[in-house]
Copies of this chain bind each other. A is one copy, B any other.
Amino acid sequence: MKIQLLLTGNELMTGHTVDSNSAMIAELIAGSGHRIQRKVTIGDDLATLVTEMRSQACQCDVLIVNGGLGPTVDDLTAQALSHLSEQPLLQHPQALSHLQQWCDRRKLPINDANLKQTMLPCGVDIIPNATGSAVGFSLEYHNCLIICTPGVPSELRLMMEQSIAPLLANRFPISKQISTLRFQTFGIGESTLQQMINNHMPDWPAEVELGFRVGSPLLEIKLTIQQQAHKIIQQQCFERLQTLMGDYIIGLNSCSLAESIIELLQKKRQTLTIAESCTGGLIAASITEIAGASTVFQAGFVTYSNAMKQQLLGVDERLLSEHGAVSAEVVTAMAQGALQHSAADYAIAVSGIAGPDGGSREKPVGTVWIAWGNKQQLNTQQLLFNAPRKGFQQIVSATSLDLLRRELLAIKAIPRYFHNRAARN
């Protein structure tokens, strides 16, 4: 069964929007073993839309069209499908009653812009939209089922989960079971890892497809098999990779550094506090983004200025004037202050120069000091990351979480990134 995707929207072509919808669609149909084979993205132009819909519909069994269902003039999907199928646009009673209920709940009057969303090609089947004002719809065109979905991610997700994924699973059951085993790693580069595999596993079996995804900050590794019969070989490969990569593995599936840390702290029944300068709250936010964070995290300190490092964390003024805010002494004092004021068991503290300004010859932009540990032992490390401000904040957050993860797991080995990333003194 072949599924293709057609994404529409000028914003997708001009660089003003990053498309997250297609990844979501792929993820949600993967559960029933389905896979997007090809996707095409074009702007909001009626003629182009009709041409591309026709061309794709000839190549696949299901065409999911995303975007262009909205109330505005640049929303053209219903019109395009009407042209393609030569069915007139008519007001669909189900779409209208959906819109009425939607407006009622929000105490809004129905307006002409919204009414446009009820004008659909004759003969379509309606797909409910749990949260938005525009329903989805589908139509058989020759041998292709064309499914039109909204561009708003939250609406799309519910529609995919509640209606479209079950429809596809039901209508096109998959016999050949593709199965992927995914895990996340941090601290080894893609080429180093590939070379380690080449050297230590030259007998890699053809049945197991090896895939990589350079994320920020994690590197994802995937082992894909095309048949359930190869499950054992897949598992063997995974175990050998586990031996090879050891403590660089964060966890299975989409496990993040924050999730890993929360789980480790929960097991120990211990808590964490965070004192942040250059990351400005990002480490705390990455922890509290995870449901259940409150079991291990009670307080964080964003001490952006020197005065606040003194006042909120009790950092000694002399340490700041003698060593500077970006120093082992100051991050240690920040971590100590955070432990003391929050009564947490573990602490992370970071202070660095995110840029674009503020660097010096001794401490260039990209320099950071990280402290991590507990009352008994606080470790510090200086690192250097050449990345623009936001990227710097993200990699510093990730690295500080990884250092705490290594501490919680009592990993003694020094991570490779200490060698590659250590600041040159």
Contact = CB atoms under 8 A, between A and B. Distances in A.
A186 interface: no
A38 B37 contact: no
A232 interface: no
Given A13-B26, A191-B114, A305 B294 contact: yes
A301 interface: yes
A111 interface: yes
A300 interface: yes
Interface string A221-248: 0101000000000000000000000000
Contact of A112 (B117, B195, B342): B195
B299 A70 contact: no
B302 A420 contact: no
Interface in A139-155: 151-154
Given A191-B111, A299-B312, A16 B393 contact: no
- Copy count, this protein chain: 2
A275 to B, nearest CB: 10
A242 B40 CA distance: 35
B213 A16 contact: yes
Nearest to A11: B213
A72 interface: yes
Contacts of A16: 23, 27, 182, 213, 220, 222, 254
A19 interface: yes
Contact of A195 (B13, B26, B114): B114
A211 B254 CA distance: 35
A305 B297 CA distance: 8
Interface in A198-230: 198, 209-216, 220, 222, 224
- Main secondary structure, interface of A, reads mixed
A251 interface: no
Contacts of A360: none
A413 interface: no
A107 B419 CA distance: 9
B289 A299 contact: no
Interface of A: 9-20, 22-28, 30, 35-44, 48, 52, 70-74, 106-108, 111-114, 117, 131, 133, 151-154, 180, 182, 190-192, 194-195, 198, 209-216, 220, 222, 224, 254, 274, 276, 279-285, 287-289, 291, 293-294, 297-305, 307-308, 311-312, 341-342, 354-357, 386-391, 393, 419-420
23 contacts: A10-B211, A13-B36, A13-B39, A14-B35, A16-B27, A19-B22, A37-B43, A70-B190, A71-B190, A71-B191, A154-B391, A274-B281, A281-B283, A288-B304, A289-B389, A291-B355, A291-B357, A294-B305, A298-B303, A298-B304, A299-B303, A302-B302, A312-B342
